Amino acid sequence: MSVDHPSNDRHSIDDLIRARRTNMFVDRERPLSDDVIHELCELATWAPNHKRNWPWRFASVTGGGRSRLGRVVSNAMAAHGDDPNKVTKALTKYERTPNILIIGSIVGDTDERTAENRDAVAAAAQNLMLAATARGIATYWGSCPRGSHEAVADFAGFDPGTHIVGIFYMGHQSATMEVPVRPDPVINVIDN
Ligand SMILES: Cc1cc2nc3c(=O)[nH]c(=O)nc-3n(C[C@H](O)[C@H](O)[C@H](O)COP(=O)(O)O)c2cc1C
């Protein structure tokens, strides 16, 4: 498959990268269509991945699935001895946006490959978030709560052992977030 070279409009790419914000301000009444979710996941798969093993897994959660996810996470957190306030909050937290996307990373045949898979899936997640930003879709990367990876992987229909890279809150963006100041990158220069 050949792909046209992207435009040389470097500024628009730079601006897009800077425009992405962790943002949960969304239109709660307007879920993203299945087609849009598919489009974003397809764009995620253009991320580099070692040995072309396509290590990402996706599960789209909407409607009543969100409260079911909340119960699964809440139960796992309680079993793990988590703070009771957080356990209660987890019951409804996935209903804050109309769409939830669970992104997992498969186990590799060595620990090193498993770690590389997670690196690749993080790159895929960034692809997805940038493509979402370009479409006016807000994304918010949430961690899978401690002790609930196994239960969430099972809920998502992923193979046992799949690491949950993130539980992403998504929806049509309704407000913008303040842009935080970014510290300048530290670059060690080694030239001889
Ligand atoms: C691996 C990973 C896990 C994250 N988990 C959470 C989380 O559980 N809760 C949260 O509020 N933000 C989470 N974030 C989002 C960061 O807080 C956010 O990226 C950071 O504040 C910078 O803001 P920005 O994304 O708008 O630049 C996570 C980000 C990454 C990369």
Structural domain of 153? 23-170
Handedness of CA 111, 113, 119, 122 (dihedral sign): negative
| Residues with C-beta less than 6 Å from any ligand 1 atom | 21-22, 141-143, 166
Mean pLDDT of 5-24: 83
Closest CA to 38 of 69, 55, 59: 59
Q: Is 175 within a domain?
A: no
Per the DSSP assignment, residues forming a β-bridge with 102 are 59, 167
In a domain, 127, yes or no: yes
Give one DSSP letter per residue of 69-114, joined into a string: HHHHHHHHHHHTT--HHHHHHHHHGGGSSSEEEEEEE---SSHHHH
CB-based contacts of 41, cutoff 8 Å, min separation 6? 58, 101, 128
**Residue nearest to ligand 1 atom 18, measured at CA:** 22
pLDDT digits (tens, 9 = 90+) for 59-82: 999 999 999 999 999 999 999 999
* pTM of structure: 0.95
Mean pLDDT value of segment 104-116: 98
pLDDT digits 0-9 by tens, 111-141? 999 999 999 999 999 999 999 999 999 999 9
φ, ψ for residue 189 (rounded to 5)?
-105, 120
| 1 lies in some domain | no
In a domain, 102, yes or no: yes
Span from the CA of 141 to the centroid of ligand 1 (angstroms): 5
138 lies in some domain: yes
User: What Rg do the C-alpha atoms of the chain give, in angstroms?
Assistant: 18
Q: What is the total count of domains within the chain?
A: 1
Residue located nearest, by CA, to atom 30 of ligand 1: 141
Nearest-atom number in ligand 1 for the CA of 177 is 26
Domain at 43, CATH number: 3.40.109.10
For residue 191, tell me if it sits in a domain: no
